[in-house]
């Protein structure tokens, strides 16, 4: 009798304990938003809309305009995606439809492993190898928006190529064969069958990659320059939200400065949260991925 | 030219273009890998494991402090992140099932898995570093475990759901209470998958730099005190690589090489476990 | 060895000493198969699972060439030439010899676009011609009344049997000489099966048909000639009426009596 009673208690205890584990995630998300918002209030209330519209960011004058960082984030991410998407699709087509079987596995596996290499390594490569190349090609410092976008695109490339390939691989052979049986060429088949079939998965994964790229810090911090200016010259130094945070967070010496940085973090969190939510709810509903 | 020949030509051109773009992409990726390996092999030496950090120009300069710091940070984050993640994943799979609460937690965790890690750093700065008054190893641990929890939670959830219901039913039929069924039957069935999830989660967290920048910060000396700033391989890579000193940069490459090899090894082990389980 | 009845019709295809081995296997899946396929007739291929029916069918439009490493030798004569030659234009060949699969394979696009797909591949762009030929194909496949009001809907919204008729419509839209069917009704209910059998019998007026089937009643119901295969060999080819009544080979008799397979 006593034995059964203790097991009922243990059962309830284990259920509560694991419920707690699940609740922690929710508590974390709520506290992240609450804390970021709390520390942002000072800057947001003092600066108001100007925080978003003002370009000038001069901490010594207590002037904090986030426009160049926000625009910088958007441009670097956009450029990175524009460079990465065609190459990732090229790799995926190559791996699913062109490469001989003896190459598919080794190349595919190396790409998956490259996706696991930490972003700080990509940033380091950018600083020591890509920036000098840009300097030789375009003059100037070599550090700037374009370098950051290229390094960022190379960093998200393995992830994007791997998931695009996985999505394309889900196309049933029999469906491709029926297109071939109508006299289709390889490209006809890719265009009419493989891409439409894998579309939701491909777009969803791309948006997921976009969400990661927006928040990526280390790949760009090395090579962007952290200059708060918006320039038409994409080879000029620039900044983005993560770059500003990484460079200035430990330097903030006034409470307004500090609060302005938290506002940037909040904006970044909101952007990334919404992008990933869109990817999840609109495109990846059916396509479940592992890690 | 008729339609068929035209299509054949277009197909050939497009396939060549996509092979070229694949080649470009692969060239970049192997460029990075090559640079990492060459510089790493050139810079790595035994001394690096023996000495702690030293000012530029000193011969007796190493990475002992960063290696130990990295192990402590990632190890402690694993000790916190894994139990919480497994408990949460267990709840989703075994108690919440397909309920709205369950799916909501799943979605939020998925979003958290891709949340900007630097923002997590800012959050931990506010809730740990500010109250303490200074950077500390424990703040870094908290940041890394926050990143780890959703990863472990989601893989555990997925892996436990793969365990067949008949196995559970068989255990219930013997009169076992739910927690015993979970502990002795479900966990055992999902062991390999959960283990792989943990290994990949550790690998993922071990490469994080941004959330450590203003939590554990950095320290150029050997320290095991979690209440003080603590060195990590990742932040050391960042600091040494961006320094103007050639000898520091070279140590930075060695650190980058060690870190990458560690992470690649974890990934390969994770894959082997999956393969072995599939083979069995 | 094999008993091959004389064919009273012209030949659509003529297989000569054809052997086939899949990549990475040592054992050949087809051994020296010789067989005529009669024009504007239905030829059924029967035999136990794994005997090589699908493998043989897929050589007629050279489906096997989509995968590297498959080896074959022998000849298949079509319109006076050997289509196994290295110079054969596979894209043109496949527009002349169409194929219907075991499961419906509607493309992820609208009903209309599914049918128009093959036509567009042939360079037909004019809307009016496309409309006409889509309607004709859907009519020929006896599915027009069911779909003409929802041509713009996704093809996946159709039932399995409707999708299979859609695939037939798609294949006949490009007016092939030969149609290959690999167990086209094995995934369907009896009513859909009957509809498709009727359709196939109508098609043979202008198209030569080869159909693989597991169902001997189906072969007896619809085909003019039947080939019985066993372990990669063609054992017997005869007129359907005679083959099922007075088989020449002992193996054929055992199989149709249900002694194995
Ligand atoms: N892709 C392949 N690679 C290697 N061997 C194969 C492949 N496809 C089929 N085979 C083998 O070739 C032989 C003939 O297979 P085939 O699919 O032609 O048989 P079938 O008569 O169509 O059988 P079923 O009635 O089951 O469809 C079998 O022994 C099969 O195992
Ligand atoms: Mg078959």
User: What are C33-72's pLDDT values in tens digits?
Assistant: 999 999 999 999 999 999 999 999 999 999 999 999 999 9
- The two tokens of residue A190 are 């890719």
Q: Shortest CA distance to B205 belongs to which of B130, B163, B265, B149?
A: B149
* B98 Cβ under 8 Å from any chain C Cβ: no
A-chain CB neighbours of C170 within 8 Å are: 182
Atom of ligand 1 nearest to the CA of C24: 4
Phi (first) and psi of residue C19, to 5 degrees:
-125, 145
CB contact under 8 A, B8 and C91: yes
Give the bridge partners for C78, in sequence order. Answer: C81
Minimal C-alpha gap between A191 and chain C (Å)? 11
- Of all helices (H) and strands (E), which one includes residue C13? strand C11-21
Q: C236: which strand partners?
A: C3, C228
Asked whether the beta carbons of B125 and B166 are under 8 A apart, the reply is no
What are the DSSP E strand ranges found in C60-184? 71-78, 81-82, 97-100, 178-182
CB proximity B12 to C under 8 Å: no
Contacts of B48 (CB under 8 A, 6+ apart): B62, B63, B64, B251, B254
Subunit contact B3:C91, Cβ cutoff 8 A: no
DSSP A61: G
Distance between CA atoms of residues B207 and A224, nearest Å: 21
Q: How far apart are CA B48 and CA C221, in angstroms?
A: 83
d(CA A194, CA C161) in angstroms, rounded, equals: 24
- Give start and end residues of each alpha helix (H) in B114-245: 117-124, 130-132, 137-162, 165-173, 178-180, 187-189, 191-206, 210-213, 233-241
Two structure tokens written together for B198: 């943990």
Is the CB of C69 within 6 Å of ligand 1? no
Residue nearest to atom 19 of ligand 1 (CA): C50
pLDDT higher than 50, residue A56: yes
Taking the centre of ligand 2 as the mean of its atom positions, its distance from the CA of residue A203, in whole angstroms, is 36
For C226-235, what is the mean pLDDT? 96
Residues 6+ apart with CB under 8 A from C42: C200, C201, C204, C209, C210, C211, C222, C223, C224, C225
User: How far apart are the C-alpha atoms of A66 and A75, rounded to whole Å?
Assistant: 14
- The size of chain A, in residues, is 291
Structure-token pair, residue A186: 């390889």
Partner-chain contact A25 B150, CB within 8 Å: yes
> How many angstroms separate the CA of residue B178 from the nearest CA in chain A?
6
Rounded mean pLDDT of A267-278? 93
Structure token digits, residue C104 = 């419906």
In chain B, which residues have pLDDT < 70?
Answer: 1, 279-280
Specify the ligand 1 atom closest to the Cα of C56: 18
Please indicate if any CB of chain C lies within 8 Å of the CB of A174.
yes
Does pLDDT of A2 surpass 90? no
* Distance in angstroms (rounded) separating the CA atoms of residues C112 and C156: 12
Which CATH number is A51-288's, of 3.30.70.1150, 1.10.3720.10, 1.25.40.420, 1.10.10.10? 1.10.3720.10
- Does residue B1 sit at the C interface (CB-CB below 8 Å)? no
What spacing in Å lies between the alpha carbon of C192 and ligand 1's midpoint?
26
Structural domains of chain C in order of their starting residue, each with its CATH number:
3-256 (3.40.50.300)
pTM, whole model, 2 decimals?
A: 0.90
Instruction: Give yes or no for residue C53 CB within 6 A of ligand 1.
Output: yes
pLDDT per residue as tens digits for the range A140-184: 899 999 999 999 999 999 999 999 999 999 999 999 999 999 999
List Cβ neighbours of A125 (8 Å cut-off, separation of 6 or more). Answer: A151, B31, B32, B35, B36
CB A243 within 8 A of CB A227: no
Measured from the Cα of C55, ligand 1's closest atom is: 18
- Report the distance separating Cα C46 and Cα C186, nearest Å: 13
**Chain A residues with CB-CB distance to C70 below 8 A:** none
HSE toward the beta carbon, residue B79, CA cutoff 13 A: 8
Q: Tokens 């713009």 map to which residue?
A: C152
Distance (Å, rounded) from C-alpha B93 to C-alpha A82?
39
Q: How far is the CA of C60 from the centre of ligand 2 (A)?
A: 14
Phi, psi angles (nearest 5°) of residue C117:
-55, -55
User: Is the ipTM reported for this complex over the cut 0.90?
Assistant: yes
Residue C229 Cα: closest atom of ligand 1: 21
Place of tokens 């596996």: A109
CA of C112 to the centre of ligand 2 (A): 29
Tokens 């470009």, residue? B24
B129-145 burial: b if 16+ Cβ within 10 Å, else e: beeeeebbbbbbbbbbb
- B238 to chain A: closest CA residue: A120
End-to-end CA distance of chain B: give it in Å, rounded.
Answer: 56
List the structure tokens of B45.
């030496």
Task: Summarize pLDDT for A61-103 with one digit per residue, the tens.
Answer: 889 999 999 999 999 999 999 999 999 999 999 999 999 989 9
Residue C29's nearest CA partner among C51, C6, C61 is C51
Report d(CA C242, CA C248) in Å as an integer. 9
Q: Would you say C199 and C165 are in contact if contact means Cβ atoms under 8 Å apart?
A: yes
Helix (H) or strand (E) holding C43: strand C42-46
- The chain B residue lying nearest A290, using CA atoms, is B155
Instruction: Name the residue with the closest Cα to ligand 1, atom 2.
Output: C22
The yes-or-no verdict on residue A287 having pLDDT over 60 is no
Res. C1 pLDDT band, cuts 50 70 90: low
Write the CA distances from B121 to A128, B94, B145, B234, C170, integer angstroms: 26, 32, 11, 14, 58
Strands C30-38 and C11-21: antiparallel
Are A162 and A107 contacting, i.e. CB atoms less than 8 angstroms apart?
A: no
| Both structure tokens of C200 | 């196939």
Question: Which is it for strands C97-100 and C3-4: parallel, antiparallel or unpaired?
Answer: unpaired
Quote the CA–CA distance of B56 and B59 in Å, as a whole number.
9
CA distance C214 to C220: 11
- Asked if the B49-279 domain carries CATH number 3.40.50.720, the reply is no
Q: What was the pLDDT predicted at A291?
A: 30
C140-190 pLDDT, tens digit per residue, is 998 999 999 999 999 999 999 999 999 999 999 999 999 999 999 998 899
Number of other CB atoms surrounding residue C40 within 10 Å: 17
User: Which sequence spans correspond to the domains of chain B?
Assistant: 3-43, 49-279
C217 CB within 6 A, ligand 1: no
Q: How confident is the model at residue A289 (pLDDT cuts 50, 70, 90)?
A: very low
């Amino acid at each position: 009798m006593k034995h059964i009673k203790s097991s009922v208690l243990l059962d309830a205890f284990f259920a509560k304990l694991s419920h707690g584990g699940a609740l922690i995630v929710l508590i974390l998300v709520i506290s992240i938003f609450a804390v970021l918002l709390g520390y942002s209030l000072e800057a947001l209330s003092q600066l108001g809309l100007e925080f978003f519209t003002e370009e000038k960011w001069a901490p010594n004058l207590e002037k904090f305009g986030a426009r160049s960082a926000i625009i910088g984030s958007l441009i670097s991410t956009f450029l990175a995606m524009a460079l990465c998407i065609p190459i990732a699709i090229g790799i995926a087509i190559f791996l699913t439809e062109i490469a001989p079987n003896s190459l598919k596995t080794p190349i595919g596996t190396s790409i998956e492993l490259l996706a696991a290499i930490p972003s700080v390594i990509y940033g380091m490569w950018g600083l020591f190898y890509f920036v000098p190349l840009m300097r030789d090609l375009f003059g100037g410092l070599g550090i700037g928006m374009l370098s950051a976008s290229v390094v960022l695109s190379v960093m998200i490339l393995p992830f994007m190529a791997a998931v695009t390939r996985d999505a394309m691989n889900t196309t049933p052979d029999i469906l491709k064969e029926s297109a071939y049986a109508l006299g289709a060429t390889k490209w006809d088949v890719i265009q009419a069958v493989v891409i439409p079939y894998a579309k939701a998965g491909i777009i969803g994964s791309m948006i997921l990659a976009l969400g990661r790229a927006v928040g990526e810090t280390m790949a760009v911090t090395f090579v962007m320059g952290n200059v708060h200016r918006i320039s038409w010259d994409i080879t000029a130094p620039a900044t983005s939200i993560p770059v500003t945070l990484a460079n200035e967070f430990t330097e903030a010496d006034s409470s307004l400065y500090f609060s302005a940085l938290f506002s940037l973090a909040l904006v970044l969190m909101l952007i990334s949260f919404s992008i990933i939510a869109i990817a999840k709810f609109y495109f990846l509903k059916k396509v479940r991925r592992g890690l | 030219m008729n339609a068929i020949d035209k299509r054949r030509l277009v197909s050939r051109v497009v396939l060549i273009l996509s092979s070229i773009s694949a080649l470009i992409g692969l060239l970049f990726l192997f460029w990075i890998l090559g640079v990492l390996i060459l510089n790493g092999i050139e810079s790595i030496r035994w001394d690096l494991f023996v000495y702690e950090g030293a000012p530029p120009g000193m011969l007796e300069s190493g990475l002992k402090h960063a290696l130990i710091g990295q192990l402590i940070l990632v190890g402690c984050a694993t000790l916190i992140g894994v139990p919480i993640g497994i408990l949460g994943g267990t709840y989703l799979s075994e108690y919440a099932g397909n309920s709205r609460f369950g799916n909501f937690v799943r979605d939020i965790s998925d979003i958290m898995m891709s949340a900007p890690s630097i923002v997590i750093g800012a959050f931990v700065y506010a809730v740990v570093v500010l109250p303490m008054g200074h950077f500390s190893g424990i703040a870094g641990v908290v940041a890394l475990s926050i990143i780890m929890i959703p990863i472990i939670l989601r893989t555990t959830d997925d892996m436990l759901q793969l365990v067949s219901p008949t196995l559970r039913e068989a255990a219930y039929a013997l009169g076992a209470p739910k927690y015993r069924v979970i502990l002795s039957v479900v966990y055992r069935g999902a062991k390999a998958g959960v283990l792989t999830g943990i290994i990949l989660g550790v690998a993922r967290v071990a490469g994080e730099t941004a959330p450590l920048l203003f939590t554990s910060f950095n320290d150029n000396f050997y320290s095991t005190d979690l209440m003080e700033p603590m060195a990590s391989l990742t932040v050391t890579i960042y600091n040494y690589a961006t320094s103007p000193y050639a000898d520091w940069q070279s140590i930075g490459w060695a650190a980058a090489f060690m870190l990458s090899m560690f992470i690649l090894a974890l990934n390969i082990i994770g894959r082997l476990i999956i393969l072995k389980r599939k083979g069995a | 060895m094999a008993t091959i009845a004389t064919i009273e019709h012209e030949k659509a295809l003529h297989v000569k000493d054809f052997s086939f081995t899949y990549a990475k296997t040592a054992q050949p899946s087809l051994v020296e198969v010789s067989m005529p396929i009669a024009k504007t007739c239905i030829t059924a291929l029967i035999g136990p699972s794994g005997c090589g029916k699908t493998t043989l069918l897929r050589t007629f439009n050279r489906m096997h060439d989509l995968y590297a490493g498959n080896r074959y030798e022998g000849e298949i004569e079509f319109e006076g030439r050997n289509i196994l030659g290295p110079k054969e234009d596979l894209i043109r060949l496949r527009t002349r010899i169409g194929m219907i699969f075991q499961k419906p394979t509607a493309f992820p696009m609208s009903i209309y676009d599914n049918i128009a797909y093959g036509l567009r591949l042939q360079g037909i762009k004019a809307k009016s011609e496309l409309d006409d030929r889509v309607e004709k194909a859907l009519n020929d496949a006896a599915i027009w009344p069911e779909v003409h009001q929802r041509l713009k809907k996704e093809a996946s919204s159709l039932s399995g049997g409707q999708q299979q008729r859609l695939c037939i419509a798609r294949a006949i839209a490009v007016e092939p000489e030969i149609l290959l069917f690999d167990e086209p009704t094995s995934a369907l209910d009896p009513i859909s099966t009957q509809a498709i059998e009727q359709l196939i019998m109508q098609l043979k007026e202008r198209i030569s048909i080869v159909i693989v089937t597991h169902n001997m009643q189906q072969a007896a119901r619809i085909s003019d000639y039947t080939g019985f295969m066993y372990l990669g060999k063609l054992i017997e080819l005869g007129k359907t009426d005679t083959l099922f009544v007075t088989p020449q080979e002992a193996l054929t008799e055992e199989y149709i009596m249900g002694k194995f397979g």
